[in-house]
Amino acid sequence: MTTTQQHYSPFDCLVVAEQTPAGLLQKESQEVEVLLVLEIELRASDEPLVPLNEKHHVDVAKSNLPWKDRTPQLMMQLTTHRTVFWSETASKQRQGRYLHHSQLLQLNTESAGGLFQKSPKLILQTAAMGELCLVFGAAKKRDECFSAYQKVVSRRGWETPTLNTIQTAPRRRVGLDALLTSDTRRHEHAAQLAETAFQGDAELLLKEAQGLVQIIQHYVATLERQHEFSNAQDKETQQLVGMLQHMGMTSALTPNDTQLARELTDFVRPHLTAQHPVMTLTDVYCLYNRARATHLLSPDDFRAAAEQCHSLQLGISVATLPSGLVVLQNDQYADPVHLQERLTQLLHDHALASLTALDVSRYWRISAVLAMEQLKLVERSGSWVRDETLESLRFYPNRYFCA
């Protein structure tokens, strides 16, 4: 919904989902994403439903608007616990509302008039909202979603007990207890890996990833050549695409850059603070892939996702410095005035009269190349001046500028 709301629809009657700072779904414990459908239409019966606000109460203002029984152009995210629908405004602000799978009573596809014709609709019988209809653009996507729904409902992951519900545990864990313990340790290891990724050797990781990048480029070229001759995919091509998706090689698979941009923002923005608002894009790429472990991204996919962050107004953006160095920066602290204040504070903290690129690199723990670019930036603004000698290149605050 990209215009001012003049009515309310089934989307407004779902429960509002909590979001991360980047606009992603705040998942529940042990909740995993199963399927993502980029465009879908949500329909309900002709009888008006009750709209809900962010506090899960009746939205009186919307209930006075006319009722429309369908909501087009939604993105659907199917998880083990919920079906989440996403709506995006013209200002790129997202709102998510969900239907919990505990509310599902029955699931089936809608039969069409013809004998062999398949209607791209999925019917959900729910306890609270009655019958809901999901309309897809193609029958193939509908069938894929129906299959995923059947697996999710049969496994009933939202009812899986956690370790907190187990009162006693033997010294040697077996059966379900052992599986839950292993799963919890795996999640803790992934969280620890994401936390320690910024402490690793990015250059070493990039060197080790060169062989994998070459494989990615080879398979991408193969799939693109096949796509030029025919849009249809044979069985072998589908298997190849599946392998690439499992390994995280998504360059030839038309990835959802918007979703990936929000995941990247959630990962890197807490580290782009007022004290360290800039990182080179190469370092972020290595650290992000290190945190993803086996689900690696190709450089093209990562660059495309990073460049989406500014248009989505996520608070970070890609910038190319005059030397050609590409960085990822926190927009809140990217102005030269803030950089000038940080450099001045650095002088006072360490009782220095001037700074070199090595000084800034050592105290701020950034690369010497990035440190030099930061110093040149304040020099171009006129707030700092340089003193170039045979010994070194030093930068001083411009006292005439400050006066």
Query: What gap in Å lies between CA 152 and CA 102, rounded to an integer?
Result: 11
Q: Quick one: which of 401, 380, 383 has its CA closest to 342?
A: 383
Instruction: Please tell me the predicted confidence (pLDDT) of residue 98.
Output: 93
Label residue 195 by pLDDT band (50, 70, 90).
low
Look up residue 237 and give its amino acid: T
Query: So what's the pLDDT on residue 100?
Result: 92
Average pLDDT, the chain: 79
Percent of the chain with pLDDT over 90: 16
Q: How confident is the model at residue 89 (pLDDT cuts 50, 70, 90)?
A: confident
Q: Which tops the pLDDT comparison, 177 or 112? A: 177
- Which single residue is written with the structure tokens 């105290």? 363
- Say what the pLDDT of residue 242 is: 59
pLDDT higher than threshold 80 for residue 278:
yes
Burial of 349 (0-12, 13-18, 19+ CB in 10 A): exposed
Region 225-251 average pLDDT: 57
Question: What pLDDT score was predicted for residue 3?
Answer: 47
Of 63, 62, 57, nearest to 4 by C-alpha is: 62
Where b means 16+ CB within 10 Å and e means fewer, 375-384 reads bbbbbeeebb
More confident call, 221 vs 74: 74
Neighbouring CB atoms inside 10 A of 245's CB total 13
Closest CA to 124 of 97, 145, 140: 145
Q: Is the pLDDT of residue 252 over 80?
A: no
Angle at 36 between CA 231 and CA 12, to 5 degrees: 125
Q: Where would I find the H helices in 197-256?
A: 202-208, 210-229, 235-247
Q: Mean pLDDT over residues 186-193, rounded?
A: 66
Q: Please write the tens of the pLDDT for every residue from 376-397.
A: 988 988 889 999 888 889 999 9
Residue 18 near residue 260 (C-beta atoms within 8 A)? no
Residue pLDDT, tens place only, 307-316: 988 888 888 9
Whether residue 317 contacts residue 331, with contact meaning beta carbons closer than 8 Å, is answered with yes
Residue 214 has pLDDT above 60, yes or no: yes
Evaluate whether 47 touches 126 at the Cβ level (below 8 Å).
Answer: no
pLDDT of residue 168: 45
Burial of 186 (0-12, 13-18, 19+ CB in 10 A): exposed
DSSP string, 184-196: HHHHHHHHHHHHH
Q: Which CATH class, in words, describes the domain spanning 10-159?
A: mainly beta
Q: What is the mean pLDDT of residues 243-254?
A: 50
Instruction: Determine the Cα–Cα distance for residues 154 and 214; give it in Å rounded to an integer.
Output: 40
Q: Which amino acid is at 363?
A: Y
pLDDT score for 6: 83
- How do the domains of the chain map onto residue ranges? 10-159, 199-331, 335-402
Tokens standing for 284? 């972020």
Maximum average pLDDT range among 15-29, 171-185, 198-212: 15-29
Phi, psi (degrees; rounded to nearest 5) at 31: -85, 135
Beta strand 82-88 with 70-79 is antiparallel
Map tokens 């239907």 to a residue.
Answer: 99
Short-list 197, 159, 145, CA closest to 34: 145
pLDDT of residue 2: 42
Average pLDDT of the segment spanning 345-374: 89
pLDDT tens sequence across 92-142: 788 899 999 999 988 888 755 554 555 688 999 998 888 999 988 888 888
Mean pLDDT of 278-305: 85
User: Residue 209: its pLDDT value, please?
Assistant: 57
Task: Give domain 199-331's CATH architecture.
Answer: Orthogonal Bundle (1.10)
| Structural contact between residues 257 and 38, judged by C-beta atoms closer than 8 angstroms | no
Identical fold between 10-159 and 199-331: no
> Can you give the pLDDT at residue 213?
60
Name the DSSP class of 254: -
Domain boundaries 335-402, corresponding CATH code:
1.10.10.10
**pLDDT (average), residues 321-334:** 87
Whether the pLDDT of residue 299 is over 60: the answer is: yes
Closest CA to 118 of 145, 140, 149: 140
Dihedral over alpha carbons 295, 301, 305, 308 (to 10 degrees): -170
Tell me the backbone φ, ψ of residue 206, rounded to 5 degrees. -65, -40
Which pLDDT band holds residue 256 (cuts at 50, 70, 90)?
low
Kindly list the distances between the CA atom of residue 272 and the CA atoms of 131, 226, 276, in Å, as whole numbers in the listed order: 46, 41, 5
